[in-house]
Amino acid sequence: QKDADSIRAEAAIASQTNLAKVKAFPINAAKKITVAGYTQVRYQALEETGKIDGFDIRRARVDLKGTFSPYWGYRLQFDLAGTPKLIDAYAELKLNDYFNFTIGQAKIPFSLENLASSTKLELIDRSQAVEALVARGKDVGGNQNGRDIGILLGGTILKLKDRPVIDYRLGVYNGAGINTVDNNEGKDIAARLIVHPVVGLDISAAYYDGSRFVPEVKTGTVVTTPSKTVNRDRFGLDLSYDLKNFSLRSEYISGKDDQTEREGYYVLGGYYFFQKKVQLVAKYDFYDTDKSKPDNASTWYVLGANYNFNANTKLQFNYSIKQEEGTSIDNNFANVQLQIGF
Stretch near a copy of itself under the rule CB under 8 A, chosen from 215-223, 261-269, 291-299, 307-315: 307-315
Q: CB–CB of 103/74 below 8 Å? A: no
Q: Segment 119-138, which members bind a copy of itself (CB under 8 A)?
A: 119-120
State the binding string over 183-202 for a copy of itself (x if CB under 8 A, else -). Answer: xxx-x------x-x-----x
Nearer CB in complex with a copy of itself: 132/149: 149
The partner residues of 225 in beta bridges, in order of sequence, read: 217
Candidates 78, 252, 301, 317; binder of a copy of itself (CB under 8 A) is 78
**Phi and psi of 14, rounded to 5°?**
-60, -45
Nearer CB in complex with a copy of itself: 253/297: 253
Distance of alpha carbon 224 from alpha carbon 325, whole angstroms: 34
Nearer CB in complex with a copy of itself: 82/142: 82
Stretch near a copy of itself under the rule CB under 8 A, chosen from 235-243, 278-286, 295-303, 316-324: 235-243
Query: Considering the rule CB under 8 A, would residue 331 count as an interface residue with a copy of itself?
Result: no
What b/e sequence results for 255-265 when a residue is b if at least 16 CB atoms lie within 10 Å of its CB, and e otherwise? bbbeeeebbbb
Candidates 225, 245, 292, 312; binder of a copy of itself (CB under 8 A) is 312
State the binding string over 137-176 for a copy of itself (x if CB under 8 A, else -). Answer: ------------xxx--xxx--x--x-x--x-----xx-x
Candidates 127, 144, 240, 335; binder of a copy of itself (CB under 8 A) is 240
Nearer CB in complex with a copy of itself: 58/289: 58
Size of the site for a copy of itself (CB under 8 A): 113
Q: CB–CB of 266/129 below 8 Å? A: yes
Task: Output the DSSP codes for 259-307.
Answer: TEEEEEEEEEEEEEETTTTEEEEEEEEEEES-TTSSS-EEEEEEEEEEE
CB of 106 to a copy of itself, least distance (A): 10
Q: Segment 263-292, which members bind a copy of itself (CB under 8 A)?
A: none
Q: Could you tell me the CA-to-CA distances from 211 to 177, 231, 290 in Å, in that order?
A: 12, 5, 19
Stretch near a copy of itself under the rule CB under 8 A, chosen from 31-39, 137-145, 266-274, 278-286: 31-39
Stretch near a copy of itself under the rule CB under 8 A, chosen from 65-73, 223-231, 287-295, 326-334: 65-73
What is the chain's Cα-based Rg? 22
Q: Segment 88-117, which members bind a copy of itself (CB under 8 A)?
A: 89-91, 97, 100, 103-105, 112-117
Distance of alpha carbon 154 from alpha carbon 171, whole angstroms: 8
Query: Considering the rule CB under 8 A, would residue 305 count as an interface residue with a copy of itself?
Result: no
DSSP symbol at 80: -
CB of 313 to a copy of itself, least distance (A): 5
Question: For the purposes of burial, counting CB atoms within 10 Å of the CB of 300, is it exposed (0-12), middle (13-18) or buried (19 or more)?
Answer: buried
Q: CB–CB of 284/290 below 8 Å? A: no
CB of 41 to a copy of itself, least distance (A): 4
> Taking Cα atoms as reference points, which of 123, 118, 120, 119 lies closest to residue 267?
123
How far is Cα of residue 3 from the mean position of the Cα atoms in its chain?
A: 40
> Taking Cα atoms as reference points, which of 267, 265, 237, 311 lies closest to residue 123?
267
Nearer CB in complex with a copy of itself: 114/279: 114
Nearer CB in complex with a copy of itself: 59/288: 59
